A and B are shown apart, each in its own frame.
Chain A
Amino acid sequence: MSSFTAVVLDALQASIGLSAAVYALSGIGINLQFGYTGILNLGQVGFMLVGAYGVAITHNLGGSLWLGILVGLAAAVVFGLLLGLPTLRLRADYLAIVTLAAAEILRLVVRARTSEPVTRSTQGIVGVAKEWFALNPIPTGRYGWDNFSFDQRALWMVLTGWTLVGLIALLMLAITRSPWGRVLHGIREDEDVARALGKNVYVYKMQTLILGGAIGALAGILLAVDAQSVFPDTWTAQVTFLGYVIVILGGPGRVLGPVVGSILYWFIIQFTDGVLQLTFNHIDQATLAPVRFIGVGVGLILLMAFRPQGLLGDRRALSVE
Chain B
Amino acid sequence: MIRHLKILEYALSSLYRRKFKNLAIFAVYAFTVSSLASILFLTQALKTEAAKVLVAAPAMVVQRLSGGRHDLIPTAYVDTIRGLAGVGAVKARVWGYYYDSINKSNYTLLGVEAEQAELELIEGRLPRGPEECAVGAGVSEAQVAGVGDDLLLIDAGGMGQDYVITGRFRSESRLWTNDLIVFSAEEIRRFFGVPAGLATDLTVEIHNEREVATLARKIKRLLPDTRPITRHEILHTYETVFNWRSGMVLAVFVSALAAFCILAWDKATGISGEEKREIGILKAIGWETSDVLELKFWEGMAISLSAFAAGLLAAYVHVFILGAPALVPILKGWSVLFPPFALTPYVDLYQIVVLAFLTIFPYVVCTVVPSWKTAITDPESVMRG
A and B held together in a complex: no
B residues with a Cβ closer than 8 A to A are: none
